[in-house]
Structure 1
Amino acid sequence: MSDNKNKKIVILTGAGISAESGIKTFRDQNGLWEDHNILEVASPQGFERDPELVHRFYNMRRKQLLSSEVAPNEAHLAVARLQRELPNSEIFLITQNVDNLHERAGSPQVLHMHGELTKMRCIESKKVFEIKENISAHRACPCCLKEGNLRPHIVWFGETPFSMDEIYHHTAQCDLFIAIGTSGVVYPAAMLVDLARENGAHTLEFNLNDTQVSDSFHQHIVGPASQTVPKYVEELLNSTPHIT
C-alpha cells in the first residue's frame, strides 16, 4: 500500500479490541451463565421459552457497558483517528462486538454485524429503538404498544448477521483488510479475510495470539491491541504502513 492515501480499507474488529476496556465475558469456561446454557439466553428458542431470563441477561451486560468502569481504549481511539485523518481513503469499519466503544471513541461510521446492546427491536415491525435502562418482558413496545414485543437488537445463535451483502461488497473491493482482536472461529466473519485476499487486498491481523485463520493473512502482528494498533495507525498516516 505505497499510495495508501487513495485506498479502500476494511477494518473488522472482534472481542479482543474491547477486552482491554474492561468488558467482561458473561460466559464461564463451561459455556454457562448463572447455571444456564448460553443458548438459553442467546437464541430465538431461549427467548420464546423464557423472555424474562433473556432480558435479565442483556440488562446486566448493558449495565456493565454503560458503567464508569468501561471506556474506549487506545485501539478504539486509533481506529477512529484513522477514519477521520486518512485523506481520500474510504474506510469501512465492521465490528462483531455489540458494545458502543467505537462510537464513544469517535468513529464516524460503524457497522455492527452482530447487533447492539443499547438497542431493542420490535418483533413485529422490526423498528429499532435506543435503550439505556433495564427492560422487562412486560415492557410495552413504543411502536405497537404490545407487551412482550421488544427483543434485544442482537444476532443470536442460529440467526444471520446484519448487512452481510454490504459487508461482502466492501470486503471484495478493498485494498487493505485489517482484522483486530477477532477469534477466527465465528462465521461468516472468519471467512472475510479469504474474500479480501482473493480479490487482491493486502491482509493484516492484530491479535494476542495466532488464530485459526492467521495463515490466511499476509501479516500477523502479536500484542495488545491498545499498543499495536496505535503504532500501526501512526505509521500508516505517515505513509509507512508496515510495522517492523
Structure 2
Amino acid sequence: MSKIVILTGAGISAESGIETFRAEDGLWAQHRVEDVATPEGFMRDPELVVNFYNARRAQAAEVSPNAAHKALAQLEAEYDGEVVVITQNVDDLHERGGTQTLYHMHGHLKGALCASCGHRWPAPMVMQAGDTCPSCKAPAARPDIVWFGEMPYDMERLFDHLAQADIFAAIGTSGNVYPAAGFVAEARSNGAHTIEFNLEESAVGNQFAEHRTGPASQTVRKWVDELLGK
C-alpha cells in the first residue's frame, strides 16, 4: 500500500482569503514578527499578542475551505493507500474541508495553552491577556501557537511518516521556515517522489523532482484527479 505525505503552507489558504505570512498589506505587515510570534514578545506585551491572534481567529472564522482543501480530503477518502496531511497553517480549513488525518505542526488558532503548566484547552473566540488556566489557575493563558524559537509539535511522528512516504508533496510553502523546509530532503533520502505546488519555485524548490506552478485550487485539484484516475 503506497503512502502520500503532504505538507501545506500559507499558500493553500491564501485563496480562501487567509493572508499569508509575508502579505504586504495584511495583519502580519502591521506588526514585527518579534513582537507577535515569539515567547519574548508575549512576555513583553501579552495584550498585543493576544489581540493579534484574536484578529487572526476572527478572520479565519469568516472564510471557507477552497477547492484545494476539498481535493485533499477527497484524496484521503478515496485513495487506495494512506494519505497524511501536515500543515504549517493554524487555521481549521483542512478540518472543515474534510481532512481526517492531520497534524498541526505550528499549533492552532482554536487552542489555548498555559504558559505555566502546559495545559491545553479550546480557546474562546476572544482571549484576554491574563486569562487563567483552568487546570493550575495561573493567569498564564496564551494562544496554542508554535512561535519562532519553539519546537513544532509531533516532530518524531512526522519524521516517521516522512520515512515511509512513497510520494511527498509540498503545497503553498515558502521553503524558508525550518524544520518544515527540510522535509523534502528527508523524504527524498528515503526514496519518495517529491513534488512541489506553488505560484513560483520555493527557496528549496531545486530539491523537488517535480514542480506544478499555479493556484493550488487548480493544480492540486488536477493532481488529485490524476491519482484517483478521474
Match of 1:84 in 2: 77
Q: Does 1:198 align with 2:189?
A: yes
Counterpart of 2:156 in structure 1 is 165
Q: After TM superposition, give the deviation of residue 126 of structure 1 in Å.
A: 1.5
Amino acid at match of 1:49: R
Q: Which whole-Å CA distance do the structure 2 matches of 1:110 and 1:32 have between them? A: 26
SS of the residue corresponding to residue 113 of structure 2 reads strand
Name the CA shift for 1:36/1:166 in 2 (closer, same or farther; >3 Å): same
Change (3 A) 1:196 1:75: same
**Partner of 1:135: helix, strand, or coil?**
coil
Distance of 1:121 and 1:42 partners within structure 2? 14
1:109 aligns with 2:86: no
TM-score (norm. length: structure 1): 0.89
Whether the 8 Å CA contact 1:46–1:54 is kept in 2: the answer is: yes
Residue 96 of structure 1, CA deviation: 0.5
Alpha-carbon distance in 2 for matches of 1:80, 1:35: 34
**Contact 1:120 / 1:130 at 8 angstroms: preserved in 2?**
yes
Aligned AA (2:69) = H
- For 1:165 and 1:80, the matched residues in 2 are separated by 24
1:99-141 CA distance string (max 9 Å, x none): 1000000101210111101110112332211124201113222
User: CA, structure 1 residues 209+26, in 2 after alignment: closer, same or farther (shift >3 Å)?
Assistant: closer
**Taking every aligned residue pair, what percent have the same amino acid on both sides?**
54
Rg larger for: 1
d(CA) in 2 for partners of 1:154 and 1:66? 17
Cα–Cα, structure 1 residues 32 and 22, in superposed 2: closer, same or farther, change >3 Å? closer
Q: What's the CA shift for 1:237?
A: 0.7
**1:41 is the counterpart of 2:32:** no
TM-score if structure 2 supplies the norm length? 0.94
Aligned residues: 230
* Runs of at least 5 residues in structure 1 that lack an aligned partner in the other structure: 1-5, 240-244
Within 5 A, what are the aligned runs for 1:175-190?
Answer: 175-190=166-181
Contact 1:32 1:38 in 2 (8 A): no
Query: What SS class does the counterpart of residue 185 from structure 2 fall into?
Result: helix
The gaps in structure 2 that reach 5 residues or longer are none
